[in-house]
Amino acid sequence: MDFDSWIASLREVLQGQDNPLALRNGRWEVVDRKELWHGLGSRIFDTHLDQFKDCAVEVLSELDPQFELPAEERYAANIHGKVLNHSSDLRKGLAETLALLGSHGGILKNCTQHKPEFIAVLSIRDIFEQANWQLWGSLNSLLPTLSEAAPGEFLNLVQNALQKQPCPFDELFAQEGKGIAGRNYMTGLLWALEGLSWAEEHFMGVAIILAELASHDPGGNWTNRPVNSLITILLPWYPQTLAPIDKRIAAIKAIRRDFPDIAWKVLLSLLPNQHQTSFGVHKPLWRSIVPKDWEPKVTNKQYWDQVAGYAEIAVEMACGDLDKLKELVANLDNLPKPSFDQVLKYLSSEAITNLPENQRLPIWTDLTNFARKHRRFSDAKWALNDENITQIEAVANRLAPTSPEGLYRRLFVSKEFDLYHKNGDWEEQHKKLDERRQKAIQEIYDASGLQGIIAFINEVESPNKVGWALGLIADSGIDSDLLKNYLDTEDTIYRQFMGGFVWGRYQNQGWEWVDGLDRAEWTIAQKCQLLMYLPFEDDTWKRAVDWLGDAEYEYWQRVPVNPYQSKSDLLFAIDKLLGVARPQAAIACLNYRLHKKLPFDAKRTVRALLETVSSSEPTANIDSYEITELIKALQNDSNTDQDDLFKVEWAYLRLLDRHSGAEPKLLEKYLSTQPDFFCEVIRLIYRSKNEETQGEEPGEVKKALASNAWRLLHEWRRPPGLREDGSFSSEDFEAWLKSVKHLCKESGHLEVAMIKVGEVLLYCPPDPQGLWLPRSVASVLNARDAEEMRSGFRTEIFNSRGVHSVDPTGKPERDLAALWREKADALENSGFARFAFTLRELANSYDREAERIIEEHKSKVE
If one counts the domains in the chain, the total is 1
| Phi, psi angle pair for 292, to nearest 5° | -60, -30
Helix (H) or strand (E) holding 369: helix 357-376
Q: What is the pLDDT of residue 443?
A: 93
Q: Residue 126 burial by CB count (10 A; 0-12/13-18/19+): exposed, middle or buried?
A: middle
Per-10-residue mean pLDDT, the chain, length 862: 69 69 70 77 90 95 90 77 88 93 92 94 93 93 95 95 93 75 83 95 95 93 90 91 94 95 94 73 90 84 92 92 90 90 92 89 88 84 88 90 87 78 73 91 92 92 94 90 88 94 94 92 93 95 95 95 92 96 95 94 96 84 87 94 95 84 91 96 90 67 87 93 94 96 95 96 95 96 95 93 86 95 95 95 93 79 52
Q: Is residue 835 part of a domain?
A: yes
Helices (H) and strands (E) in the chain, counts: 43, 2
Q: Is residue 15 part of a domain?
A: no
Q: What is the pLDDT of residue 457?
A: 94
Q: Is residue 843 part of a domain?
A: yes
**What is the domain extent for residue 815?**
801-861
Q: Residue 589 burial by CB count (10 A; 0-12/13-18/19+): exposed, middle or buried?
A: buried
Neighbouring C-beta atoms of residue 597, cutoff 10 Å: 7
Q: Is residue 828 part of a domain?
A: yes
Q: What is the pLDDT of residue 372?
A: 86
Q: Residue 446 burial by CB count (10 A; 0-12/13-18/19+): exposed, middle or buried?
A: exposed
* CA–CA gap between residue 483 and residue 523 (Å, rounded): 12
Q: Is residue 752 part of a domain?
A: no
| Phi, psi angle pair for 143, to nearest 5° | -60, -40
- Which of 370, 361, 369, 372 lies closest to 401, judged by CA? 361
Going from the C-alpha of 219 to that of each of 169, 184, 477, 800, the distances in angstroms are 13, 11, 52, 38
Which residues touch 26 (CB under 8 Å, ≥6 apart)? none
* CA–CA gap between residue 502 and residue 530 (Å, rounded): 7
Q: What is the pLDDT of residue 749?
A: 95
Give Cα 681 distance to the centre of its chain. Answer: 33
Give Cα 100 distance to the centre of its chain. Answer: 38
* CA–CA gap between residue 641 and residue 637 (Å, rounded): 9
- Which residues on neighbouring strands pair with residue 29, listed in sequence order? 22
Cβ(137)–Cβ(175) below 8 Å = yes
Neighbouring C-beta atoms of residue 290, cutoff 10 Å: 15
Cβ(672)–Cβ(719) below 8 Å = yes
- Which of 329, 337, 311, 316 lies closest to 395, judged by CA? 329
DSSP state at residue 728 = B
Give Cα 628 distance to the centre of its chain. Answer: 23
Q: What is the pLDDT of residue 184?
A: 85
Q: Is residue 832 part of a domain?
A: yes
Q: What is the pLDDT of residue 694?
A: 59
Burial state string for 352-363 with b = 16 or more CB within 10 A and e = fewer than 16 = beeeeeeebbbb
Going from the C-alpha of 49 to that of each of 86, 100, 117, 315, 740, the distances in angstroms are 20, 12, 10, 54, 65
